[in-house]
Chains A and B, each alone.
Chain A
């Protein structure tokens, strides 16, 4: 949620049972502005909250000119001091999937371990090796944020445009979706590198507007019927909203 509209948009996302206390809201407003200046972001978004056993993590994301590239994620334990999260690479995601089980502990330096005995070599030369995979909780946090973004980051159609040079920017003339349009799943798009788009036939692509439809719509997700937009709790504006209670494990 954009830091500038955070204080009034927070109530709209509160239907899921989690809000921020007034102290946290006040702290966020102060610290996000400072963060924007320090990292020279063009927009700072409050991504959400991940619950841990001892402490909760608050996550913010910053974008520079292009909305989709170079998104940096930061975490904080007290809404004031922010630390950069490492970018999630494929190997990190694979390691985390092996090693990290159970809840987030709330301690960013906590290490998860997973030992496997693998047999290397062939035949008589086979030797057993113990392979230990160690994962930091900060890496686990980074992968969790990246996975959630990949699956659940949703924007209304028309909120972002892609310029011919490939830059993705907010569409300043987006006035919100019509109430009838807002009830249809195909007007909501995944905000991530498109997966299905290139597989479409030219006939299907003729209906699409290349400036607006450069992302995957939700209606093509499997399993079908997994998402239903409820018209009362969803306000179609150009904002991404995540208030998440992440129970990974």
Chain B
């Protein structure tokens, strides 16, 4: 009996051991085994002692299985890509750092810095509903400070923003002290001359032989002499302009503008692309690339829309008596602001303080037909002296500091719209002027302060849809006259008819002659 009990026990133990081994076998799918799972499950039930354990046991078992899963770290990681916003932010970070060496200069900065108070400008223009948003204006402020630190300007101003199809331009206007700020001009022109010299050399060998035998007629066409450009610091080139694409990028200085560029800019209409070296392809052909076109438009906008309250600027007293030639002004220290309501009502109280650009493209007229002694033969001189009697008349524009009421209308639209910034609180509001001729040009005045800004596409309002200039018709090669006009040769029938008619005439003549002779003989 004992043996069988022992045998039974050992059998049971063996069976238990086998079953345990079975339970500990890892599942092929999940690499878990039943034995460990049950151990964990029962330990959990022991620890937590849930109510109605038998009802929740399946959920607990499922949760336990789920919690065993561990997240594996991916061996692939996202490499941080630098987006365009990040690149710009890094460039603009430099705006916010003080340059070394600024530490001891606090007093100087506070007293006479050429830096304009852009924050004040931004505040006043925001009252008028114009502006670039506070953050961007502040960045512009810091960028102007960078400009002022790098160039020694006498005065600096934020001129405005010009939009382009790919990127925009921020424009700053600066005035150098007398004598400073000359740039190297020779490089541009010499490149052009070099190119021209290279090309004809290649063709010369072939055509030389032909030409020596039968020289082609030389053209007697002399292109009209180019209008000389104005000197630095005077007229159109009174201020120097710097542009950059975004605040934080380096400022690029724009070259001086020539009258030819202004006259062509008046005839074409183009969006800016935002790249300074883009070519300007147009008819009439524009002499220059986008840099020059930008400078020409800036000059036109400044001349047309920079205004100030009457009395803010006055002519210096030692200017002399010439009315037409005043080109400089100074601030009037006795200027007391004009009432805002009056400023918003009438245009008489605003004046232009930038010289008008004449049709010639300059501010001061120059007689171009005066020839220098080199080009002229003696014979030609005599002829030309006769022609010079109808000299072109000097062009005159409205003098400096003319009020806006003298501006011409376009298509019955007033050239300026005036408004007051707030109807509800008129005592603290500002007078705002908006140009209808150059959409995007604004001016404000409040008490003793005023400001001008341009934010726009750089195009004038022409009042009707723009049609590009048509090319001139091709020139006539020869004057048409009766000697060279072709006519049909007469046909045989016509010739014979003519011959018959002639014979009749001669026959008739002979008869009359015979008759006359007979008559004479009779006499």
Contacts and interface: CB of A to CB of B under 8 A. Distances in A.
Contact of A103 (B422, B423, B436): B436
A23 B422 contact: yes
Interface stretch (A13-21, A68-76, A200-208): A13-21
Contact of A232 (B84, B423, B425): B84
A17 B454 CA distance: 9
A14 B132 contact: yes
Contacts of B84: 179, 231-232
B165 to A, nearest CB: 7
Contacts of B277: none
Given A14-B132, A53-B413, A21 B421 contact: yes
A232 B88 contact: yes
Contacts of A12: 133
A21 B128 contact: yes
Interface string A219-249: 0000000001011100000000000010101
A102 interface: yes
A37 interface: no
A54 B423 CA distance: 14
A193 interface: no
B126 A247 contact: no
A125 to B, nearest CB: 37
A24 interface: yes
Interface in A16-71: 16-24, 49, 51, 53-56
A249 B85 CA distance: 38
A72 B171 CA distance: 40
A53 B417 contact: yes
A89 interface: no
A51 B421 CA distance: 14
Contact of B132 (A15, A21, A53, A56): A15
A17 B167 contact: no
Contacts of A81: none
Given A51-B434, A231-B83, A247-B461, A14 B131 contact: yes
Contacts of A16: 163, 455
B166 A21 contact: no
B133 A19 contact: yes
Interface string B129-146: 111111110000000000
B463 A102 contact: yes
B440 interface: yes
Contacts of B56: none
A150 to B, nearest CB: 19
B417 A15 contact: no
A17 B132 contact: yes
B127 A103 contact: no
B414 interface: yes
Contact of B126 (A21, A55, A78, A101): A21
A245 B414 CA distance: 17
B116 interface: no
Contact of A19 (B129, B165, B168): B129
B311 interface: no
A20 B134 CA distance: 12
B424 interface: yes
Contacts of A11: 133-135
Contacts of B132: 14-15, 17, 19
Nearest to A14: B133
A14 B129 CA distance: 10
B417 A231 contact: no
Nearest to B160: A17
Given A19-B130, A21-B126, A231-B85, A14 B136 contact: yes
B439 A247 contact: yes
B337 interface: no
A103 B413 contact: yes
Contacts of A22: 126-127
A18 B168 CA distance: 15
B456 interface: yes
B184 interface: no
Interface of B: 83-85, 88, 126-136, 161, 163, 165-168, 246, 411-414, 417, 419, 421-425, 434, 436, 439-440, 455-456, 461, 463-464
Q: Which 5 A-B pairs rank lowest in CB-CB distance, beginning with the nearest?
A: A17-B455, A14-B133, A11-B133, A19-B131, A179-B83
14 contacts: A12-B133, A14-B133, A16-B163, A17-B131, A17-B455, A18-B129, A18-B130, A21-B127, A21-B421, A21-B422, A24-B129, A53-B413, A53-B414, A247-B461
